Amino acid sequence: MLVDCAHYVRGIRQDHGPTTLEGAAACPRRGGSFVWLELYEPGTAVMAELRARFGLHELAVEDAARAHQRPKVEGYDDFYFLVFRTARVRAGQEEVEFGEVHVFLGPGYVIAVRHGDHGDLAGVRRRLEHRPGLLKSGPAAVVWGILDVVVDDYSPVVEEIENDIEAVEHRIFAEHADATERIHELKQELNYLHRAVHPLLVPLEAMEHGAFAQMDPGLLRYFRDISDHLRYVHDEVLARREQLNSAFEANAALISVRQNEISVRQNETVKQLTIVATVFLPLSFVVGFFGQNFGWMVDHIDSLAAFLALAIGSLVLSLAALYAWFRRGGFA
């Protein structure tokens, strides 16, 4: 879907409404003039028309038509293809949402293709249109505006993840609760964020050292500022990963302590059951023996005294022997 398409001459927008792809391709794109297109999850037909009208390489168009591309800066014969990962935390939710912005940067045009529900570039357009002195530097100024917003949006995400990690630490140390699942979720979010930030460090550093000679020198300080912010975010992401690893180790130690406590309780229960079984084993033997109907028992255990001496006496003797054995073994 085509969101907006405008023609700029020396930083001033020449129309007040979106034009068509055909009209944008027909606009003059020399001498400080360029077109800026924004598309949201375009279909195959739109991308094919875009390729035909602006002479884009088929591989770059194929990548831009699909999400889940890694952040990168690729140079083609007459244009650059850039991929940025966007991130934000939706209000009232814990999960971080990621999106993508694919940018074609060429002579006299900049084409931004968005994937995901966020990363709207309307704010970037309004901001740059109020700064025609910066916008007249050409399409690279648009790339700066997009990247500046993308990088600025990383900081609240890192802060939110830091708050979540602190909540996990409180859950572990104060509440002694298992936080394995939440730690795994935060680890995934940090990994996604790291994969969004880390690949951009090298091209921005190369830009600082003049790798893109065709760029207006006046824009270098702006990209240098983004590079500083990006390095800060990258360092924060690494620090949060270390913090989360420490929380994971503490959580594992908590689980190990709990498992040891359970094991101790189980051992104590088995010990008690073993004692009971040991007590009843000789008693069951004695009772079973004297419960037999042998002739000798019938003839000789025919009085109360004989019953007390032989039957009850055997039980008492067995209990006494067991008690002595338990005392010696430290069980009683």
54, HSE (Cβ side, Cα atoms, 13 Å): 32
Pairing assessment for the beta strands 12-13 and 2-9 based on DSSP bridges = antiparallel
pLDDT category of residue 138 using cuts at 50, 70 and 90? confident
pLDDT category of residue 331 using cuts at 50, 70 and 90? low
Q: What DSSP assignment string belongs to 89-119?
A: E-TT--SEEEEEEEEEEETTEEEEEEESS--
Q: What is the DSSP letter of 312?
A: I
Write phi, then psi, for 212 (nearest 5 degrees).
Answer: -110, 85
Which structure tokens are listed for 11? 């930083």
Share of the chain above pLDDT 90, in %: 23
Return the SS3 of 301: coil
Which structure tokens are listed for 290? 């004297």
Q: What pLDDT, on a 0 to 100 scale, did the predictor assign at position 91?
A: 67
Which structure tokens are listed for 76? 């083609």
Which structure tokens are listed for 57? 């390489």
Torsion of CA 38, 42, 46, 47, to 10 degrees: 90
Which structure tokens are listed for 246? 């420490």
8 close to 14: Cβ distance less than 8 angstroms: yes
Q: What DSSP assignment string belongs to 180-206?
A: HHHHHHHHHHHHHHHHHHHHHHHHHHH
Residue 97's region, left for phi above 0, alpha for psi from -120 to 50, else beta, is beta
Q: What pLDDT, on a 0 to 100 scale, did the predictor assign at position 195?
A: 92
Higher pLDDT, 261 or 280: 261
Q: What pLDDT, on a 0 to 100 scale, did the predictor assign at position 217?
A: 80
Q: What pLDDT, on a 0 to 100 scale, did the predictor assign at position 50?
A: 87
Q: Where are the domains of the chain?
A: 2-256, 291-329
95, HSE (Cβ side, Cα atoms, 13 Å): 5
Q: What is the mean pLDDT of residues 258-279?
A: 79
CB contact set of 15 (below 8 Å; sequence gap of 6+): 6, 7
Distance CA 172, CA 231 (A): 31
Q: What pLDDT, on a 0 to 100 scale, did the predictor assign at position 122?
A: 84
Q: What pLDDT, on a 0 to 100 scale, did the predictor assign at position 33?
A: 87
216 close to 142: Cβ distance less than 8 angstroms: no
2-256: CATH topology is Beta Polymerase; domain 2 (3.30.460)
Which structure tokens are listed for 317? 């003797």
Distance CA 279, CA 269 (A): 15
314 close to 283: Cβ distance less than 8 angstroms: no
226 close to 204: Cβ distance less than 8 angstroms: yes
Q: What pLDDT, on a 0 to 100 scale, did the predictor assign at position 20?
A: 76
Q: What pLDDT, on a 0 to 100 scale, did the predictor assign at position 332?
A: 60
pLDDT category of residue 133 using cuts at 50, 70 and 90? confident
pLDDT category of residue 300 using cuts at 50, 70 and 90? low
Q: Render pLDDT for 30-60 as a digit per residue (tens, 0 to 9).
A: 777 888 889 888 888 888 988 898 888 999 9
Return the SS3 of 39: strand
This prediction has a pTM of: 0.76
Neighbours of 152 (CB within 10 A): 12
Q: What pLDDT, on a 0 to 100 scale, did the predictor assign at position 234?
A: 94
Q: Give Cα separations from 271 to 208, 265, 266, 323, 327 (angstroms).
A: 72, 10, 8, 15, 15
